[in-house]
Structure 1
Amino acid sequence: MPSLSHMIARLSHCPVFLKITQYIVTFFWVFALMPLLAVENNQFEGPPGSRYAFGDEFSGSELNQEIWGLGINKKNLQNEGVDCIYKKENITLEDGLLILTQKREPVPVAGNTWSKETTFNYSSGGVHTQKDYSLRNNMYLELRCKLPQNNGGYGAFWTVSHKVEGWSPEDLLEIDMFEFIAAREKTRLWSGLWWHDFRAKEIHKGIPSQSMVKRSDDHFFIKQRVYKAHHGHGHHIKENKVNFYEFFTFGLRVTDDEFFWYLAQDGPAWKSEPYFHFSGGKVHNRTYGKVEDFEWEREVPKNLHAQVNVNYAMRNAAWAGGPVRDEQLPSKMYVDYVRFYNLGQK
């Protein structure tokens, strides 16, 4: 009778035996890795019925330029009233974090706003998603970050709509996931919606002609903020228990009919109760008495296709906690991740 070792040696040359052995080894490897796979899936836990679409964990050594562009637009033009320029060297990755650094420049830096060339005494960091990485209807967007705490610092997470095939003026809006005044003595986080594009029937007689740009007979762009349509939560969130100066999680859920905003100190934001909600209805210009109040009817866009921005601006304005105090600089804003999920269709 052949020995056991002799039988195994003979079987080792048998294709069927080799195939069975391969299956057994694969099974045990999968079984051993299941706890690790479960942990990985839990890290990307979206709302029930959702599916992870794309995002960034900032785990590399350089910013992923397929997803992110410099500044809040392709030309890195700065908004009027902002006192800093966004520079590549102020955007770094370290220990799995995106770090946006705000600092004073030893020599003023040339740059551009939407209306003019200018120089900036300060620099900071801001990024926007490229067009293939957009927020759309029936998606959930989540970000985990730690906000700065310097006078004049102004952290923001927001969107700008793209014009895509089939769009209409009603589809173009700005979603303020949140805007944050970083000065400790004036800490405030607020959220809201802005519409800059109106139909002809929505043009109120109180809007001066010089504040409008005619795109077509039935499409007008409103230039001045005091005449734009707004819906928002314009103050520190009532009964808020989230510490914005430590890492916290923000979430936005967008369907064809509703927006929901969420906050949580830890864990997925969508597991908390929404602190803000919009499902259509009356909106108004937000002027604090500067001009006559107007009202419009607005709904959730049916063809949302929005660029997402994360930026750390500086505003010397008193309402933003200015004036700037150079001794507080450099100052940093940290982002742990940005994740997009597709929601299950109704």
Structure 2
Amino acid sequence: MLKKECFSFLLVVCFAMNISCKKGGNEPPPVVPVVKVEDALQLRTTSDAVLYFVITLNKTTTVPVSVDYTLVDGSASAPGDYIKKSGTITIPANNAQVQLDVAIKGDPEDNRENNLDFTLQLSNPENCTLGVTSAMGTIITENGKNLTTDNTGYTTPLTYAGYTLAWSDEFSGEMLDAAAWNYEVGNGSGGWGNNELEYYTNSNKNVFLSNGNLIIEARKESVTGFNYSSARITTQNKKTFTHGRIDIRAKLPVAKGIWPALWMLGDNISTVGWPACGEIDIMELVGQNPSTTYGTAHWQNALAAHNSKNAGYNLTSGNFSQQFHVFSLVWTGNSMQWYVDDNLFLTTTKAEVGDAVYPFNKPQFFIFNVAVGGDWPGAPDGTTQFPQRMFVDYVRVFQ
């Protein structure tokens, strides 16, 4: 009887020890992390560069983690824009991230075009799960310095009988002439008095020279609390003119809510205000009317109220974005005449305005801008594509 009891006791002890050893010898199962990958950006320059995708784990683990990857063309295509590759990438044990590098090809001409993209796709996770299976790689090309455009269209001569070229800007350099032009920055007072929606900048994203043209570019982007950016340049306090013939050769943006303008203001605006200073709108276009431009004179009448006279010019075919046109003002002491491609469409005289209040025998300065939104054109809508660009080939003043 005693032997049986001892034997039973030994069996219980051994069983308990066995269970205890097994429990103590088990390693905890490895944590299964979740893999994600973030979108990546790389600015294209004239030289080759590298774009880096960052692949991360939400927690580290004691074993290596791996995923297969492949690159897929989008608007960017290999091998011209980037070098395509595929394979397996491993995150070592006790690490939380790894970088995947992609070679980006440079552009020796530094062309400005819409940004390019391609996709990184992940698959076949080992020791992990996929929280994100793809990411976008973006090659930023929208800020290139070189932008070509078809230069066809109307042109005007460099000389006129009875006139001398007093000043011109052919926009043939690499930068805007600081001796002639200023940048106006911001949204003015009340959207420049017109409830405009853009924020004007001095960035070469919005105003630059390329291939003999001044380019003002409106973009849909967040800038200082506004949803659009553009540019507005003036010759105030640098270049002012009274009378003569003015020729401006330009190609215009046309889209709902876009408002390009080539115009002048009286140099005395800071002392007498608007409209007493006088305003000469050589060209304005509201984008939803792509085949019509307008010329306008603004002044203050004898009752200190705003007066204006304007007219539109309509193309017989096509629209103002398809080729260059020349917008001209022939300005004398007694009258102003507006032309498009040497076709007269508006005349204003001193007698119409009134001798006592006529402001147009005093110096005026130039303003070139592309507004987004405002009281006249209204806001952009779903049909409006960005960027929108105005090209100016030259401005010439003959006196």
The two structures have a TM-score, normalised by structure 2, of: 0.53
Distance 1:60 1:325, change over 3 A: farther
* Contact residue 128 and residue 308 of structure 1 kept, 8 A: yes
Q: 1:298, 1:240 → 2: CA distance?
A: 39
3-state DSSP of counterpart to 1:66: coil
Aligned to 1:308: 366
Distance 1:162 1:316, change over 3 A: closer
Q: 1:172, 1:316 → 2: CA distance?
A: 22
1:328 counterpart = 2:385: yes
1:231 counterpart = 2:289: no
**Following superposition, which runs of at least 4 residues in structure 1 exceed 3 angstroms of deviation?**
75-78, 167-171, 238-243, 296-303, 321-327
Aligned to 2:43: none
Aligned to 1:163: 268
1:189 counterpart = 2:266: no
1:124 counterpart = 2:230: yes
1:153 counterpart = 2:258: yes
1:135 counterpart = 2:211: no
Q: Which has the higher contact order (CA 8 A, sep 6+)?
A: 1
Aligned to 1:25: none
Deviations 1:296-319 (A, max 9, x none): 7777546320111111001155x5
C-alpha deviation, 1:232, in angstroms = 1.6
Aligned to 2:208: 92
The two structures have a TM-score, normalised by structure 1, of: 0.61
Q: 2:346, 2:285 → 1: CA distance?
A: 16
Aligned to 2:333: 256
3-state DSSP of counterpart to 1:303: coil
* Contact residue 147 and residue 182 of structure 1 kept, 8 A: no
Residues 270-285 of structure 1: pairs in structure 2 closer than 5 A: 272-282=342-352
Deviations 1:247-285 (A, max 9, x none): 111110111111111111xxxxxxx342111123345xx
Q: 2:320, 2:293 → 1: CA distance?
A: 9
Give the aligned length: 239
C-alpha deviation, 1:120, in angstroms = 1.7
Distance 1:228 1:97, change over 3 A: same
* Contact residue 185 and residue 201 of structure 2 kept, 8 A: no
Aligned to 2:139: none
* Contact residue 218 and residue 388 of structure 2 kept, 8 A: yes
C-alpha deviation, 1:46, in angstroms = 3.6
Residues 1-346 of structure 1: pairs in structure 2 closer than 5 A: 45-71=158-184, 78-80=191-193, 81-89=195-203, 90-105=206-221, 107-109=222-224, 119-137=225-243, 139-163=244-268, 172-183=277-288, 187-196=291-300, 198=301, 202-203=302-303, 227-233=305-311, 236-237=312-313, 243-245=319-321, 246-264=323-341, 272-282=342-352, 301=359, 303-315=361-373, 317=375, 319-320=376-377, 322-325=379-382, 328-342=385-399
Distance 1:244 1:238, change over 3 A: closer
Q: 1:310, 1:94 → 2: CA distance?
A: 17
Q: 2:338, 2:218 → 1: CA distance?
A: 27
Q: 1:87, 1:108 → 2: CA distance?
A: 9
3-state DSSP of counterpart to 2:327: strand
C-alpha deviation, 1:183, in angstroms = 2.5
Q: 1:82, 1:54 → 2: CA distance?
A: 31
Aligned to 2:145: none
Q: In terms of Rg, which structure is larger?
A: 2
Q: 1:322, 1:239 → 2: CA distance?
A: 24
Identity of aligned residues (%): 25
C-alpha deviation, 1:72, in angstroms = 8.4
C-alpha deviation, 1:133, in angstroms = 1.0
C-alpha deviation, 1:136, in angstroms = 0.6
Query: Quick check: which one's helix share is greater?
Result: 1
* Contact residue 178 and residue 191 of structure 1 kept, 8 A: yes
Distance 1:155 1:302, change over 3 A: closer
C-alpha deviation, 1:243, in angstroms = 4.1
